[in-house]
A and B are shown apart, each in its own frame.
Chain A
Amino acid sequence: MGSQEGHYLILRNLTASELEAKWPKLRSGNYAVRSRATGRYNCMAFANGDDRHWWQAGLHGGRHYWPPKTSDTLPGWVDLFIKQGYELTDSRQIEAGFEKIAIYVDLVDMLPGHVAKSDGSVWKSKLGRIQDIEHASLDLLEGDKHWEYGIVERILRRPIKRVAKRKATRKRKVAS
């Protein structure tokens, strides 16, 4: 069943040249592909640590999920992360010791269309129904050409939990 299950996840991976054609600021060295293409989850799910559901407003259950009482607007998306302990910031830089969320707004309808997250060392994005990537900065996905996601309109951050840090330190000690 495992291999059969895996089979269902696989979409065709976009090649580096295809990705760089769609997001013209991506160049070898400023990004790296980190997963296979899948339609199983989207950027909103990815930013919330979920790789089992497609987070879509108005749809619940099965392959979909959307947090209750959350509007599909920029304030709604911001509130969703604020409820998880994030707070708004102006800094677009990666900050060690902080998890960050960046919400991109589409330049056509001015609605939120993409979310990137940072774990304190790099920005990460799930690109629609294709791969996850790590990218050096937020502006690499900004713009209005091809598949670019518009502009980053809100950035939020929260300290990386010390508990998680302690656990990681303990694990390292045990391993050594």
Chain B
Amino acid sequence: MPKECETRYTRGKERFTRDCDYAYARTRARLSYPTHPIRRAYDLALLIGRTSVNRRSTERPLAQLFREQVDIWKDQTSHLSSITKAVAHPSYLRIIGLAKESTGHEIERLLLHELESEPDHWFAALSAVTGEDPVKTEDDFDEAVAAWLTWGRKKGII
């Protein structure tokens, strides 16, 4: 097969696989939490993580994949007033999905460093990849950031 065709075929295949993963995850998420949009988004993120990453190429370093998706996410959602919409963005979900390729808490470290250097709404992603939530219900934004950074330091991740 000519190289150009091969590249197109591989890209098309990856895209098709990813779309199938999203469709499957969306279906499952709707069944789980039909009335709660943000929980549905979190659930969707988790399901994508579980279903898609085993098929993804690991040739490129995780940090590079992470940075690409962070940049896309910021570029396409920074103007939104809805966090529900922002965390349901494919790049946010792919970041969560990278957890399956992460070894030695690498994805947690990347997320925490990102949270420290540019405090943004990474709380849902951190909860999804760690299965924990050190943020108290009454914590404001600053306290939520501080709670996650403290958690990371206690665990020796950052």
Contact = CB atoms under 8 A, between A and B. Distances in A.
B158 interface: no
Contact of B121 (A8, A114, A127, A129): A129
A70 B32 CA distance: 25
Contacts of B120: 11, 39, 129
B78 A130 contact: yes
A47 B120 CA distance: 21
B26 to A, nearest CB: 16
B9 interface: no
Given A9-B119, A10-B119, A58-B36, A113 B141 contact: no
Contact of B139 (A14, A62, A115): A62
B50 to A, nearest CB: 25
Q: How large is the interface on A (under 10, 10 to 19, 20 to 34, 35 or more residues)?
A: 20 to 34
Interface stretch (A25-33, A49-57, A82-90, A157-165): A49-57
B35 to A, nearest CB: 9
A54 B83 contact: yes
Contact of B84 (A10, A43, A56): A56
Interface string B120-158: 110000000000000111111111111000000000000
Nearest to B140: A63
Interface of B: 36-38, 77-84, 86, 118-121, 135-146
10 contacts: A5-B142, A39-B141, A40-B141, A54-B141, A59-B38, A62-B136, A62-B139, A62-B143, A127-B79, A128-B81
Given A62-B136, A63-B144, 19 more contacts: A9-B141, A9-B142, A39-B120, A40-B142, A56-B84, A58-B38, A62-B137, A62-B143, A62-B144, A63-B141, A63-B143, A113-B80, A113-B81, A127-B78, A128-B77, A128-B78, A130-B78, A130-B79, A147-B79
* 4 A-B pairs with least C-beta separation: A147-B79, A128-B79, A63-B141, A40-B141
